[in-house]
Structure 1
Amino acid sequence: MPIRILSALDHAKIQLYHFKAIIIAGMGLFTDAYDLFCIAPIMKMIRHIYYGDKPIGTAVLSASYAIALLGTAIGQVVFGHLGDRIGRRRVYGLSLLIMIFSSFGCGFSVCTTQRSCVMVSLGFFRFVLGLGIGGDYPLSATIMSEFANRRTRGAFVAAVFSMQGLGILVSSAATMAVCKIFEVAGGDRAANDLSSPWEADVAWRLILMLGAIPAALTFYWRMLMPETARYTALVENNVVQATKDMQKVMAVSMSQIAEDPSEAPPRPPPSPPYKLFSRQFLRLHGRDLFAASANWFLVDVVFYTSNLLLSQIFNLSNVPHTNVYDVAFRVAEFSAIVAACSTIPGYWFTVYFIDRIGRLGRLVFGRKIINLFPRYSSYWANHRDTNNKGFMVLYGLIFFFSNFGPNTTTFIIPAELFPARFRSTCHGISGAAGKFGAIVGIVGFLWVTKTVYVEKDGSPGNGDLDDVNFPDVKRMRIAFLILGGVCIVGMAVTYFFTRETMGRSLEENELERVNEGQELDVQRRSTTDRSPSSRQND
């Protein structure tokens, strides 16, 4: 009976529920992107409101970016493990609730006058927000991969992940709208005041709290989702309940689901008797876990560092700013342009091609294209006044190929490689490695490329709003060379350690490793039998 359930999932036609599941699961990724990527323009506002003429210190700026990523890494491991221990559905709503309440908490960060109090409070709530965001990654990927059929599984999981692009776009649009509304409401004083109007302190809090709305709207529907039939049948060993859940998902009776016996997947092995990180687990799945984690770590070093460059590009554009709203508006505007013209198309190209050209081809090709970014960026660092528009075009292309290639693929592969009993946990471990890579990239980039402030006439500045912020060019080149080296290492990991998963059922991927393990056991026994001591005994 378990074969029939799994075969029905693998051969099921695309139905309305699949698209419903994409929206329900994807809205969590939408909220993730909104909350993680709105921080850049908000930090511009916070700097002007609470720091006045002084720039935010590198330590404070690094902590403000890294704290949510640290929470995300912890949340991925904890919620990923809970998803395997007590079920995907049981903890799916909890991660969403954490995101909702922590988003509001960010907006209600205590204190309105003391910057240290504000930053500590904001950091705490963003850390908690990261826990919820982290929990959503492994659960959304695992649930979608276990609901999907094997022919379009990659496209469905990629569609869930692509909601990040919409989240970035909506985050930028919300920031622009709030800034413009507050600027217009403030009249001439807000439009031309280089000091910080008190309303600006409300504006950035409102932007953060708006991130709770999409998560709250999908909470009810997420609670109605049934447990995945694969988890119920293979982990809980409850075939009857799995059949009932299948009928809900497919909206037809089991007898109506056509199944070609010649294409039925082989009977999956029983629930693995070995434990996570046991010798048997590492022998069968250690290579896959290393490949998934290393790929994600290396991708996020480059991806998040490239996102941080948004503010650098913006500062180097020599556009004068008249008020605190204008600063945040222009950062969000450029982010929206990149999202609409580059990030979102990259995601949807992935949805279309992922099950046609495979995972590994896109992973390698995307990394080769991204490797061009550090080279041309190093050139641009010496020609920033004359080549800025060309760099922006290059920057957009890099984001397109990043999402068309490694950024999306690293999200998909861990959801396809591991047994149902460990799938969510291993995805969470891989994702956590990625977030630590993001922390390394962002913190390292901020410290390597410490900035200097100059007035518009070229004289030394003190960090005022109308100053132009230039990174140290020599340090910038070093950072770009490091990113190029990271891309090369990533290609090596893909070539030598990563498996292709396209077109096969989840159970076939698992069975392949089991068969390889059995072959190794046979070879070891054969070698032992042919040892000198054995022959001597004969």
Structure 2
Amino acid sequence: MAYDGPVIDYGPNPPHGPDVTGHHPPFELTDIDMTHSEKEVFKQILKPDDSYDENGVYWADLPFFKRAKFVTKVNNEETRREFRAFWDMFKNDPLAPVGFYFRNMVLPGAGLGLEGYVLFSIGNLKPLFQKGFAECWNKEAICNPTWINAVDYLEICGIIVGQILVGVIGDWIGRRWGLIQDATIMFIGLIMLTASWGVTQNGWVICYAWSLFFYGIGVGGEYPMTATSGMENAVGSGTVSTRDDRLHRGRKVTSAFLMQGWGQFFNQVLLIVLLLIFHHGSGNAPYSKVAVQYTYRVSFAIPAVGTLWLVYWRTYKVKASANKQLQYAKKKNAVTGYDTESLSLTIHYFGGRLLATAGTWYANDVFFYGNKLFQSEFIKVIMPHSNSIMPGWLYNLINVGVSLCGYYLASFLIDNKLYGRKHMQSIGFLMDFILFIVPAFNFEYYTSVEHIKEFQAMYFLSSFFNQFGPNSVTFIAAAEVYPVAVRASAHGFSAAVGKLGALTASVLYNYIDTQTKFYVVPWFGLAGVVLNVVFMPDTTGLDLKEQERRWAFIRAGRENDYHGIAIHPKHLSLWERLRGVGKHYDAELDYAQRIEEMRREWEERMAQKVEEKEQAHDDAFDDDFHADVSSYFQRSTQSPMLRGAENEKIPPHEGLNGANGNGI
């Protein structure tokens, strides 16, 4: 591959750069040009041992058994390395691992934890309102039923607005600003929820519904901001990726996302404790209006304090480096505002991916909200005469615990190259389909007293596979399969379509009975499997820097000139492979191309340094010249000639020029 760029003169002692020969362009890049040590250096940079075997073969190019052996070896080595690091940390300070987990998993997902707390609190509080304010929430005698239903609808609408709006803002202004804005909106929304009131109960319901809408805007923004910032903090900016990004990117993002599950858990625990406190140690009906008021208002006031702290943290502790990768991409493409060109190109080149991330999220949210269908039915069978809300809350607490097991198992396996994102999502959807279709066509059998335990088991298993599958994968995939420039927008759009699935479920469930719901819901799981298999690419083990390299070629109108692993069949969807996207994949050609790119980048940097050095020299010369002139004028003002010129009212310039006109 011959170099056809400009020849740059670095002087008599040019530095040894990435042409790997010690000679400078023009040159021919061949194996003869490289010494053995130089080959090893480039192999370490371009073919890291966590993705390439000892012969420099990419892991996805290896035959199945060799691939399994290689992946297992890398994973075992990484596990041992992490355990040693953990043990060293623990020996130095037993609480250090807790601090590490808090900084790297809890804090990045704190917004989603608060979101999970509040949003799932709405569903938990509704049965309490129906018991404490029966005339309004249950019988709907003094309250407008439209506004009662609007509580669910406006919450979801607010989330949709936030997901799209803040997604665009995140790509336009930056991730850090989006994070601060989300936390601020959520804090104000929680104050509104805590203090919501009305002259009548119907007025209170209206205030409560609009407070949820406002809060939902902040919640919606958390989805694209947490996903993109968590992912990009792992990846970093520039052109060289990190081992941590390649091996643990999915775990890092999923570990932040699972804070949503902890939010649900703590909400349910606190509601149980608060009701026992304000209802005189009893969880049984009837519930006084005072107990209900105190329970729900204090339950919102507690996360308000945490959200205020989150505003502080994101404002003063989250550095501007949260925007580093976005700024790097914009600078590289000379973009100052929102990158509309990248948005247009994404729709054109990645339309199938948009269908995959948005469509699977839609199907998942129908399942996510449909999971509650089991609970009300088996409680009705187990406790047919119960008038208490406590059994529902306690079973929900168990269900959240099962969900957390699914979240954590997803974080452990989501980066495994032999399993990974795509398989996890397909299996999750398929299992949920089975777990819903079985009771749908045997409803009376499984809701009988004799078989209600099997019905309960399906309830908990559907929760587990929802988290250990589509709920976790949709969150990361919707950010990971798109370029940096539009990552937040694409994630926000996908999440918003997902919430349309939640809205579909909320509206649909008001018009059909429970058994019909079981007939309808399973098919969304089957649709999720199809969309995932056909349109979703598998980014497990893919270096996202390579995806940005491919994107640079697409933006330059040279898509077919890219030959790297971002178009490896393993990392493309079935739809993309059928369209021939991966036909230009060529490992050897790409390797030579990457060395060429590194050399050109090095030359640009060296040329920039030379220019900066020359500019600094010129600036220094100008400064010295001006200093000399200034010094001369200062000395001249003390000379007898100038003082004489001043005494004789001669203009200063005449005195300086002198009588003979020779000037300075």
Structure 1 and Structure 2 fold alike (TM over 0.5):
yes
Equivalent residues in 2 for 1:476-495, closer than 5 Å: 476-495=514-533
Aligned mates of 1:72, 1:194 — CA distance in 2: 34
Cα deviation for residue 23 of structure 1 reads 1.9
- Three-state SS of the structure 1 residue aligned to 2:176 is helix
| Aligned mate of 1:368, from 430, 436, 445 | 430
Cα deviation for residue 491 of structure 1 reads 0.9
State how many pairs are aligned.
451
Aligned mates of 1:484, 1:519 — CA distance in 2: 40
| Aligned mate of 1:435, from 499, 517, 523 | 499
| Aligned mate of 1:23, from 106, 119, 122 | 106
Distance 1:509 1:198, change over 3 A: same
| Aligned mate of 2:119, from 15, 27, 36 | 36
| Aligned mate of 1:411, from 459, 475, 481 | 475
Distance 1:17 1:183, change over 3 A: closer
Cα deviation for residue 221 of structure 1 reads 2.5
Check if 1:156 corresponds to 2:217.
no
Distance 1:345 1:500, change over 3 A: same
Distance 1:512 1:496, change over 3 A: farther
Q: Which residue of 1 aligns with 2:295?
A: 203
Distance 1:494 1:193, change over 3 A: closer
Aligned mates of 1:124, 1:312 — CA distance in 2: 31
Matching residue's letter, 2:263: G
Moved more, 99-108 or 213-222: 213-222
1:436-485: CA deviations, max 9, x gaps? 11110122123212xxxxxxxxxxxxxxxxxxxxxxxxxx2322122111
Q: Which residue of 1 aligns with 2:214?
A: 128
| Aligned mate of 1:338, from 381, 386, 399 | 399
| Pairwise CA RMSD | 3.2
1:155, 1:352 within 8 Å by CA — same for their partners in 2?
Answer: yes
Aligned mates of 2:373, 2:443 — CA distance in 1: 17
Moved more, 144-153 or 344-353: 144-153
Aligned mates of 1:436, 1:179 — CA distance in 2: 33
Q: Which residue of 1 aligns with 2:129?
A: 46
Check if 1:355 corresponds to 2:442.
no
- Three-state SS of the structure 2 residue aligned to 1:110 is coil
Cα deviation for residue 497 of structure 1 reads 0.5
| Aligned mate of 1:503, from 524, 528, 541 | 541
Q: Which residue of 2 aligns with 1:281?
A: 346
Q: Which residue of 1 aligns with 2:276?
A: 180
Distance 1:50 1:20, change over 3 A: same
Structure 2: gaps spanning 5 or more residues: 1-16, 18-41, 51-77, 86-98, 235-244, 563-578, 581-664
| Aligned mate of 1:216, from 298, 303, 308 | 308
- Three-state SS of the structure 1 residue aligned to 2:246 is coil
Aligned mates of 1:480, 1:132 — CA distance in 2: 33
Distance 1:377 1:39, change over 3 A: farther
Aligned mates of 1:166, 1:191 — CA distance in 2: 23
| Aligned mate of 1:82, from 157, 160, 169 | 169
Distance 1:72 1:313, change over 3 A: farther
- Three-state SS of the structure 1 residue aligned to 2:415 is helix
1:382-417: CA deviations, max 9, x gaps? 542413332122111111111011110000012211
Structure 1: gaps spanning 5 or more residues: 238-268, 450-475, 525-538
1:9-61: CA deviations, max 9, x gaps? x9999898786242222111111111111112311121223334944587555
Indicate the structure (1 or 2) with the bigger Cα radius of gyration.
Answer: 2
Q: Which residue of 2 aligns with 1:73?
A: 160
Aligned mates of 2:197, 2:289 — CA distance in 1: 18
Q: Which residue of 1 aligns with 2:183?
A: 96
Moved more, 376-385 or 80-89: 376-385
Check if 1:230 corresponds to 2:325.
yes
1:138, 1:428 within 8 Å by CA — same for their partners in 2?
Answer: yes
2:172, 2:339 within 8 Å by CA — same for their partners in 1?
Answer: no
- Three-state SS of the structure 1 residue aligned to 2:280 is helix
Check if 1:424 corresponds to 2:485.
no
Check if 1:292 corresponds to 2:357.
yes
Matching residue's letter, 1:294: G
- Three-state SS of the structure 1 residue aligned to 2:520 is helix
1:126-177: CA deviations, max 9, x gaps? 0111001011110010001101112100000110111111111101001100
Matching residue's letter, 1:136: E
1:21, 1:144 within 8 Å by CA — same for their partners in 2?
Answer: no
How many percent of aligned residue pairs carry the same amino acid? 24
Q: So what's the TM-score if we normalise by structure 1?
A: 0.76
Cα deviation for residue 193 of structure 1 reads 6.4
Aligned mates of 2:396, 2:429 — CA distance in 1: 22
Equivalent residues in 2 for 1:308-323, closer than 5 Å: 309-321=374-386
Moved more, 431-440 or 501-510: 501-510
- Three-state SS of the structure 1 residue aligned to 2:414 is helix
Q: Which residue of 1 aligns with 2:443?
A: 380
Matching residue's letter, 1:298: A
- Three-state SS of the structure 1 residue aligned to 2:484 is coil
Aligned mates of 2:222, 2:285 — CA distance in 1: 41
Cα deviation for residue 513 of structure 1 reads 6.0
Q: Which residue of 2 aligns with 1:444?
A: 508
Distance 1:87 1:513, change over 3 A: closer
1:487-519: CA deviations, max 9, x gaps? 111111111110011112223234446668745
1:50, 1:114 within 8 Å by CA — same for their partners in 2?
Answer: no
Q: Which residue of 1 aligns with 2:575?
A: none
Aligned mates of 1:293, 1:480 — CA distance in 2: 23
Q: So what's the TM-score if we normalise by structure 2?
A: 0.63
1:363, 1:406 within 8 Å by CA — same for their partners in 2?
Answer: yes
